[in-house]
Amino acid sequence: MALTLASSSIVSSLRCVGVGHHSRNARGSNPRLSFEPVSVGKPGRLFSVQASVDEKALTGVVFEPFREVQSDGFILPADRKKSLARQRFDTNCESAINDQINVEYNVSYIYHALFAYFDRDNIGLPGFAKYFKEASEEEREHAEKLMKYQNKRGGRVKLNAIVSPVTEFENEEKGDALYAMELALSLEKLTMEKLYALHKVAEDSHDVQLTDYIESEFLSEQVEAIKKVSEYVAQLRRIGKDGHGVYYFDRVLGEEGA
């Protein structure tokens, strides 16, 4: 990029000026930085200055888009079945995201089974039913977020089989309410471990965008969920199998977020 000056006297003062350690001394052979005026307008009125080191021009250009986009990494695929958006997206990350989608759907399925159990007429705990229904929907939303992210990065969503969950949650020692909430806490911790595994794959693949996405969209929320369910478990352990206490807890649980 040329530097323009309005006066020839200024240009003449820049001619053949050595700068710092780039000046040639009597013994060394360090290059000499000089400035040469080039007329680009009326004589004596307008000049440009070109810097050079030992006759070699220094343009200062560090980004040459028209040349750089011709490298192999920027060649767009002609096959319409291939993604145009994909960039620095390793197949290991793509596979790990699909695994996490499967995790979210499986957890959602278990929560939906818990919803169906507590919604029964002979169980009659609508607060628990509401809580687990919302938990199921939240896990499904997480799966859909990952699916949209997969598409955004140019990957392909692959849905795997979902394990059929149990449908009975009565426990002779703990009762169904405490047993179900302890199961929920274990599922939230399991989901966190799976997210850590996904984050590790992204780190190993040097995919800084994916690591940032997992940290900003999932990890903090998962920590909050674990804390919340842990408190529910602690409270239900105090209550035990007491029917009146479980009934009151159910009513409070149903009012939360209403």
203 is in an annotated binding site: no
256 is in an annotated binding site: no
Q: How far apart are CA 120 and CA 12, in angstroms?
A: 94
182 is in an annotated binding site: no
Give strand ranges (E) for 40-186.
Answer: 47-53, 56-57
- DSSP for 118-138, written as a single string: HTSTTT--HHHHHHHHHHHHH
Closest CA to 107 of 187, 35, 5, 202: 187
21 is in an annotated binding site: no
Q: Is 14 helix (H, G, I), strand (E, B) or coil?
A: helix
Range 232-239, long-range pairs (CB < 8 A, 24+ positions): 232/181, 232/184, 232/185, 233/178, 233/181, 233/182, 233/185, 236/177, 236/178, 236/181, 237/178, 239/177, 239/178
What separation in angstroms does the CA of 92 have from each of 16, 202, 215? 57, 8, 18
209 is in an annotated binding site: no
What separation in angstroms does the CA of 49 have from each of 2, 15, 108? 6, 9, 68
Q: Is 201 helix (H, G, I), strand (E, B) or coil?
A: helix
List binding-site positions: 104, 139, 142, 188, 222
List binding-site positions for Fe cation: 104, 139, 142, 188, 222
